[in-house]
Amino acid sequence: MLGGMTTQNEHNAIEAELVNASFRNANDLNFAGVLILSLLVFVVQDATPWWTWLPGLVFLYLVTLLRAIEIRRYRRTPEYRNSRQWIFGQTVYSGLAGICWGVVSTLLLMYLPTALQLFVLTVSTVVAATTASEDIVLVLPPRVFILASISPPVLWMLIQDDQMYIVLAIMLLAFLAIVITIGNKKSHLFTEAQHLRFQNEFLAKELSRQRDLLERTNKSKSRFLAAASHDLRQPVAALMIFLEQLEFEQHLSIKGKGVLEHAQQATSSMCSLLDSLLDISRLDGQAIRKSIRPFSIRKLFDEMEDEFRQLAEQKGLRLKFSACSAVIESDRVLMGQILRNLVSNAIRYTPAGRILVGCRHRQGMLSIEVHDTGIGIAEDQLPKIFEEFYQVDNSERDRQQGLGLGLSIVDRAARLLGHTLTLTTRLGMGSSFALTVPLAKTGVAKEQSAPLQAATAPVLAGRLIAVIENEGNIRAGMNNLLQSWGCRVVSADSAANMIEQLDSMGEIVEMIISDFGLRGGVNGVEAIARIRQRWGAELPALLFTGDISKETHTLAKNAGLPILYKPAKAETLCEAITDAFGSFDIQKPKNRMSDPNEKVDLQAKCNE
């Protein structure tokens, strides 16, 4: 029996269905029975006294009428009684009807000649057999009817001092036994069919319940990742800012610099994990909105070659990107993320040899392929490699070998874009990943304007920047970091405190950097809006937050605010600030930071 549905519950459900099926055809059988007895009496009435058949016939009509009323009540209000009570009522009426048949037929046999006796026995036997075979749903009422209708004439024949009657009685009993057995088998098949039906219905409900539970669990996981990521990002952001400042301290000893380097490396690993969790959370929660447009794969290859060449050379690997002039239809940011993860994964798991990235045209599609001569993947590990945190040959969870989220992100992003991802691999011989994407119909790519280089960005020195940050450690770190860049800083933990300080200073603020979650019940988007109302709608602003929820992204996007997610390196923060200044100072196109799905690739560092 399936878990979740008890045997008693299923038995009650089947019993109710049996009652319902039996009552649907009950009227036809009842009226047929009383009609047949009436016709039988009509044939033999001249040869028998009236008292042998009239009382029994009248009583059968009364029983049939009461039974019809009961059936009508069931069809109107089946909840009036439970299934057991309905079955008991049917059994009583069947027994009473059987007694009428048994008594009338026995009394008729006493007065009729042999030919008519055989006629009466034949009709009684056919009626009993029909009851057993037709009402296969409930076995108890027909059994009671058969016993009540056949027992009296059989007993009468057995006490007759005539061999023919005895043989007839035995034959009648054997025939009825066979009929009852066949009826029981049919009833058993019907019951089994109902049993399977209820099992299937339960399985469907259980499957639906498990699916809903899985969806709720998945949403809860995404909310948990978002909440946990936010709570972790706050202290990690503060730690990264402080470590960035320590790097420029001149009095650090050689040992101290080594400790700082290890601390930065550990913090970088933690940031990579948080960024990957952010990607997983976005992809699972469908917070990423894909933007499909034509772009040249060659430019993406050029960017990736510059990005990974040094890393490959450090491992002694030959990294080659084949020339490809194709223009594809896809989301450039997500495609870049997919290919970066595939190339990074290939470099990580290729101890020696080469890595080739290229394209093949396949029936109006383009297959972008990443081949390596690495360690390959065993066949029994293939179903697991796209799972979160699973890594081939890294059971010790060495952080230097990555986090095990890259291929999981690749799989999710490919499914989001509707692109087919295939893998061919041989253990010890290497692996080949192929991503099949549609070619652009026009063959012309509409490339976005190149981002403003840091070299042309306005100088930060002397700028008055307002920092609204809920966390004291991050607020202090931001103050020190911005001041080290020559900025003048005013900081507060809420919009009200910031406005109060700016009013008292009497100076014109030149930029706002705000967290999303602030004190005073006003979020960062609202805080920036209030300050802009006082000091100008064109005031540059940046939302610097660890809140990765879809709602926060939507609010910032609607307000036209760029977002930088915590934790971020100092140079990334510097570039975001200069981009925000540049968007107002030199009217550059809306900067890429407004799209939280795209990661910032810093072109130049901000120096001390």
- The residue with greater pLDDT, 402 or 535, is 535
Reference 31, options 83, 120, 92, 97; nearest CA is: 97
- Are 461 and 435 in contact, with CB atoms under 8 Å apart? no
CA dist., res. 272 & res. 389, Å (int): 13
pLDDT band at 371 (very low <50, low <70, confident <90, very high): very high
pLDDT tens digit sequence for 515-551: 888 887 888 899 899 888 888 888 889 988 877 777 7
pLDDT at 268: 65
Three-state DSSP class for 550?
Answer: helix
Q: What percent of the chain has pLDDT over 90?
A: 5
Query: In the structure, how many helices (H) and strands (E) does the chain have?
Result: 16, 12
pLDDT at 399: 40
Reference 109, options 174, 171, 46, 48; nearest CA is: 48
pLDDT band at 396 (very low <50, low <70, confident <90, very high): very low
Task: State the DSSP string of 192-244.
Answer: HHHHHHHHHHHHHHHHHHHHHHHHHHHHHHHHHHHHHHHHHHHHHHHHHHHHH
The mean of the pLDDT values for the chain is: 76
pLDDT band at 429 (very low <50, low <70, confident <90, very high): confident
| pLDDT of 192 strictly over 70 | yes
Q: State how far the alpha carbon of 68 is from the alpha carbons of 31, 61, 245, in Å.
A: 9, 10, 94
User: Which of 342-346, 389-393, 411-415 has the highest average model confidence (pLDDT)?
Assistant: 342-346
Does the N-terminal peptide bond of residue 567 adopt cis geometry, omega within 30 degrees of 0? yes
> What mean pLDDT is predicted for residues 327-356?
85
pLDDT at 28: 53
- What the chain holds in terms of domains, given with CATH numbers, is 7-208 (no CATH), 294-438 (3.30.565.10), 454-594 (3.40.50.2300)
pLDDT band at 356 (very low <50, low <70, confident <90, very high): very high
Handedness of CA 587, 592, 596, 602 (dihedral sign): negative
Report the range of poorest mean pLDDT among 127-136, 374-383, 397-406. 397-406
- The identity of residue 354, as a single letter, is R
pLDDT at 457: 37
pLDDT band at 107 (very low <50, low <70, confident <90, very high): very high
> What mean pLDDT is predicted for residues 254-260?
71
CA dist., res. 195 & res. 192, Å (int): 5
pLDDT at 333: 76
